[in-house]
Amino acid sequence: MARETWATRAGFILAAAGSAVGLGNIWRFPWVTADNGGSAFLAVYLGIVLLVGVPGLLGEFVIGRRGQKSPAGALRDLSGSRAWGVWGVFYVITAIALISFYSVVGGWILRYFGESALGVVGTQPTYFAAPGQYFGSVAAGPDAFGFHLLFLALTALVVFAGVRRGIELGTKVMMPAVLVLLVGLAVWAGSRPGAAEAYAFYLAFDVATVRANFFDVLGPAAGQALFTLSLGAGTMITYASYIDEDRSLPFDATVIATLNTLVGVLAGLVVFPLLFSLGVDPSQTSPGPGALFVGLAGAFAQLPGGAVVATAFFGVVVLAALSSSISMLEIPVSFLVDEYGLGRRPAVGLVAAGVVVTGGVCAFNPTIAGTAVFGFVAGPLVDTLLTVGLVAVLLFVGWVMGRDALAELRSGAGNLSAAVATPWLLAVGVVLPTFLVFTLLTTFGVDADLGFWPTALVAVAIGAAAVAGLRTERALV
Ligand code: PHE
């Protein structure tokens, strides 16, 4: 059977942008920003998206389009080594970890969407009365499990319908809807009293703060950049494997990163004015999983016409989350289809059945060895998996593919790509992995023991050794 492909070029861009735009932009981004000093974080984050995100996206695209297989098969075929094929299973595991907590959050969103809509037709939704208490009562347990199943079923339905008739068609509708609704909401939020104050908090660019906090925000900013661009999970490898024509990958990567950033910034333009208009100081509100559901839901409850706005808002989030969760489910599905010759439908059934269980564990959120499962999976586990996953991808592109990666990048990309190709390969093979390992160490607090200069020295040494190695190995530079 012929491998499925995207029907149109816009189809690939929208599917990949749909994967990127998700809870990371709307649920995580505004709060991580607020928690890490607002504009200072924003500046570092934007820098990482541009300097790590776009080259990283290109790395995954190059593997996917050249390999024409899901991560395990692509890594194995392109390297000719079974070991890389085994490593590909890492991405299947990452995808399952991702969707396990994502589907639970998606379930919360579905519930809040439904309740808001009921509020519009006159049945007062329950979360309006006491948002904090209410969220506490539905976030974990049978309620959370039920809505997790519902969200998972919706996700599975789209993936079940296939690349063209499911993912491509779905994201072609979802992505524009998200953009239009968010712009509308942002305009409306801008008319609220307190909006000016909110913009000042959110957008004021303060060089001194950036400088003072640079190393503190580096880890969270890198984690957020990878998560929001769907990097390190093999999603972009998988989606790029459905490209069957040569077109400019750098162009596509830039469009996707831009769209994704736009949605993140727009979401902030909705969230912050709403909070400020009610006198909630975001830097004083504790972030975390419940933030959107407690802080914002509280705002909707107090605003005139709040139920209508809430319906639109949670509607946006449902669509954005769904277009991301389908890209997570597609990773293990394409693995089973490519590697074991399973049909798409049984593959979806098998993976979904597994996620019913793994997501169920997140939904009931037991405490194992003193750690609550949900927070661990959604935070440190996923951050680490994505970072390690991306480092492997980058090293693969730089050291295993080498010249092939350059050729793949340039194919269909016009003259500009000739100028950026070699610097890109050097960045991907050396600079970015070094940087990511560094952020991983800061996340684990290793730099605290080592001190800044020794850490920097080690980083530089690794970089220099890598450049030297790349020179002799591949005679590239
Ligand atoms: N980028 C998605 C979001 O921001 C999350 C995601 C991560 C999706 C990794 C796929 C792979 O919500």
Pocket test for ligand 1, best of 49, 96, 228, 384 (most atoms within 8 A of CB): 228
Burial of 247 (0-12, 13-18, 19+ CB in 10 A): middle
Contact indicator for 477, 467 with CB cutoff of 8 Å: yes
d(CA 389, ligand 1 centre) in Å: 14
Q: Is 20 in the pocket of ligand 1 (CB under 6 A)?
A: yes
d(CA 276, ligand 1 centre) in Å: 28
Q: Is 325 in the pocket of ligand 1 (CB under 6 A)?
A: no
Q: Is 230 in the pocket of ligand 1 (CB under 6 A)?
A: yes
DSSP string, 252-313: HHHHHHHHHHHHHHHHHHHHHHHHHHTT--TTTS--STTHIIIIIHHHHHHSTTHHHHHHHH
d(CA 129, ligand 1 centre) in Å: 32
For 361, how many CA atoms within 13 A lie in the half-sphere containing its CB?
A: 17
Sign of CA dihedral 111, 113, 119, 123: negative
Contact indicator for 69, 234 with CB cutoff of 8 Å: no
CA 100 from centre of chain: 14
Distance CA 291, CA 301 (A): 15
d(CA 444, ligand 1 centre) in Å: 22
Q: Is 19 in the pocket of ligand 1 (CB under 6 A)?
A: yes
d(CA 196, ligand 1 centre) in Å: 31
Q: Which residue has the tokens 């309006």?
A: 128
d(CA 304, ligand 1 centre) in Å: 33
Q: Is 455 in the pocket of ligand 1 (CB under 6 A)?
A: no
This prediction has a pTM of 0.91
Instruction: Reduce the DSSP state of residue 366 to 3 states and report it.
Output: coil
Nearest to 74 by CA among 219, 238, 199: 238
Instruction: Reduce the DSSP state of residue 371 to 3 states and report it.
Output: strand
Q: What is the pLDDT along the chain (477 residues), one digit of tens a residue?
A: 678 999 998 999 999 999 999 999 888 887 677 777 767 788 888 899 999 999 999 999 999 999 999 999 999 999 999 999 999 999 999 999 999 999 999 999 999 999 999 888 777 778 877 777 888 888 889 999 999 999 999 999 999 999 999 999 999 999 999 999 999 999 988 888 888 888 887 776 666 766 777 777 787 788 889 999 999 999 999 999 999 888 899 999 999 999 999 998 898 888 888 878 777 666 555 455 566 777 788 888 888 888 898 999 999 999 999 999 999 999 999 999 999 999 999 999 999 999 999 999 999 988 887 888 888 888 788 888 999 999 999 999 999 999 999 999 999 888 877 788 888 998 999 889 988 988 887 766 654 455 667 767 776 776 677 667 666 555 454
Q: Give the end-to-end CA distance of the chain in Å, rounded to a whole number.
A: 42
Sign of CA dihedral 48, 201, 25, 363: positive
Q: Is 324 in the pocket of ligand 1 (CB under 6 A)?
A: yes
